[in-house]
Structure 1
């Protein structure tokens, strides 16, 4: 005699799947490995680190002559640290490139040179002053040289035959940077078209390009400023002293504390004061403002950033206030 087939009710009664007594619903399936008491738990920083290292390794594997844009600022320092971890115990397998405007903070230049010497990597420098001296560029009326970096950068990329350029840009910094892909194509003129972006599904990146083109690679695109500082604090990554609270001569302009220096002199009606300040982002002396702060160590900076309601660039970068689309206009021309 044949046994009649089980009904759905019979199957449910014999099923080992536990049901919630109150609702009768089946709880979601759980990975057995994840329920082990000794199973490692990845934090947000662990996942961001793994994604960034994956991007760096993919670019090095796919491209012939990558280079890292290195200003000595915290984001490029972070990318360099991640690259060192990606290829440890070997050396970072690509050089770093700094576009020197001539208006840099001395502390940042010293840190740049100390860092490349410590890691034993090559440093390429493109100097804006060389272009001004021979007439290819001219100083702007507002004094800032940040927009003048584009031509030296593109020339340095061409001279080094770099087909991939790592940058430390993050999507949370600016609306234009939020449009970027992790692997972003630049055309034969080094220009970026925000309407011509390639899809990035899962962790698959399209680096295809023709001769003369190159890509910009942004391993920390998905990080926030708080993520950056939290990771720097966790890893105890060295940074330029400007990032920590210190006494400095400053004057107020456009809602920012501007540094007193040869490239950012105060006007006649601007009063110089000594304040305890630090820098949230590091650019030229002529366009970067400080914020009042007593955060003198990494843990204090993490707490300060967590409570801030202003983005770092919006609070401290005069060059981003030139127009509503200042960053996007520069990026279309080939800027970082």
Structure 2
């Protein structure tokens, strides 16, 4: 870990503190659980989470696999990054497919074409099938109200559901991973990071990201105050004109519900300047699935979502 910016060599910067917390969480899980797995989509938070995990166990190999729930409507640039990263580090990558769950009749396609809410069933099927007992996720408390309620170690019941009333205290960074057979724990090493922290850490560590996080010309159309990308998921509808705009993505997910934002930010430094001035969280600015209701995220988490 790098030294802090203070004149004293014994004072850590805020990024050093956040890094130390995350490394401690990874090592705690590795020592306490039998079959952890890291959710990895190729999005910036999962990329930072993987970077921290590799640091936590270097020079040894990562002691757990990666898992991605593929909606079938993911951005090609992000999938290419996911596969390239797994190959570069020699990591095992499990892919749970929403399309396969639809074909098997496990879930049903939604009228609006979005598949983000359909990820829960294939995720839980993968957790059960591989007997994962701890699942690392890249959720942060600053993203959304329901995520702000969640502990670093989040107990899930035998159906993958989350009950806020079963949250355990985590005083002095003491984590309780006890769980009954059939239950598992979701673990969030980036809980105390903010979006700005993530980007500052990316800048400090010189972490490579998919190109869609930076300004580029893209075909988009307007819906519900967002710029969405056309695709096989069913967009655009009649009357929704496709235009070329200079945009970037603050978060990535299913193409049907992840909006781009107007931006000229082509470097990490540009992005940091841009989000420092923003009054909207990344999910509030660019995720249609979180606008379904005030409790949209919490409802999905109770059913087993990330």
Shorter chain as normaliser: what TM range? over 0.9
The structure 1 residue matched to 2:55, chosen from 63, 67, 85, is 85
Given that 1:258 and 1:264 are in contact with CA atoms closer than 8 Å, whether structure 2 keeps it comes out as no
By how many angstroms is 1:157 displaced?
0.4
For the residues of structure 2 that align with 1:143 and 1:39, how far apart are their CA atoms?
54
How many Å separate the matches in 1 of 2:228 and 2:9? 50
Structure 1: how far apart are the matches of 2:111 and 2:234? 13
Aligned residue pairs: how many?
Answer: 302
Q: What is residue 199 of structure 1 aligned with on the other side? A: 169
Would the aligned equivalents of 2:124 and 2:304 in 1 still touch at CA under 8 Å?
yes
**1:137 corresponding residue in structure 2:** 107
1:188 and 1:42 map into 2 onto residues whose CA distance is 40
- Give 1:103's match in structure 2, choosing from 52, 68, 73: 73
RMSD over aligned Cα atoms: 1.3
- 2:295 pairs with 1:325: yes
> Secondary structure of the equivalent of 1:172?
coil
What is the rounded CA distance, in whole Å, between the counterparts of 1:165 and 1:61 in structure 2? 14
Distance in 2 of aligned mates of 1:262 and 1:160? 31
What SS class does the counterpart of residue 202 from structure 1 fall into?
helix
Change (3 A) 1:38 1:265: closer
Residues 108-144 of structure 1, C-alpha deviation per residue, up to 9 Å, x if partnerless? 1100000000111100011011111121211001110
Of 277, 282, 290, the match for 1:307: 277
State TM-score, norm by structure 2. Answer: 0.97
Equivalent position of 1:146 in the other structure = 116
Q: 2:249 is matched with which residue?
A: 279
Is residue 106–residue 121 contact of structure 2 (8 Å, CA) maintained in 1? Answer: no
The two structures have a TM-score, normalised by structure 1, of 0.88
1:38 to partner: Cα distance = 5.6
Cα shift at 1:40: 3.8
Query: Where does the alignment leave 5 or more consecutive residues of structure 1 unmatched?
Result: 1-33
Q: What stretches of structure 2 of length at least 5 have no aligned partner?
A: none
Cα distance in 1 between the residues matched to 2:24 and 2:163:
25
- Give the Cα separation in 2 of the matches to 1:327 and 1:296: 31
* Separation in structure 2 between the aligned mates of residue 229 and residue 192 of structure 1, nearest angstrom: 29
Larger radius of gyration: 1
Runs (4+) of structure 1 exceeding 3 A deviation are: none
Aligned to 2:36: 66
Residues in 1 aligned to 2:231 and 2:163: alpha-carbon distance in whole angstroms: 37
CA drift at 1:41: 2.8
In structure 1, C-alpha distance between the alignment counterparts of 2:104 and 2:208, rounded to whole Å: 37
* Cross-structure match for 2:148: 178
CA contact (8 A) 2:226 2:286 kept: yes
Instruction: Return the alpha-carbon distance in structure 1 between the equivalents of residues 174 and 8 of structure 2.
Output: 31
Taking the aligned partners of 1:284 and 1:38, their CA distance within structure 2 comes to 46
Instruction: Measure the CA separation in 1 of the matches of 2:233 and 2:56.
Output: 38
Write out per-residue CA displacement over residues 278-333 of structure 1, whole angstroms, 9 at most, x where no aligned residue.
00000011110000001011111111111110000000000111111000000000
Mapped pair 1:237 → 2:192: no
For residues 325 and 149 of structure 1, what CA distance do their matches in structure 2 show?
A: 18
Q: Deviations over 1:223-257 (max 9, x none)?
A: 10000011011111111111010000111111111
**Alpha-carbon distance in structure 2 between the residues aligned to 1:38 and 1:162:** 43
Q: Which residue of the partner structure matches residue 124 of structure 1?
A: 94
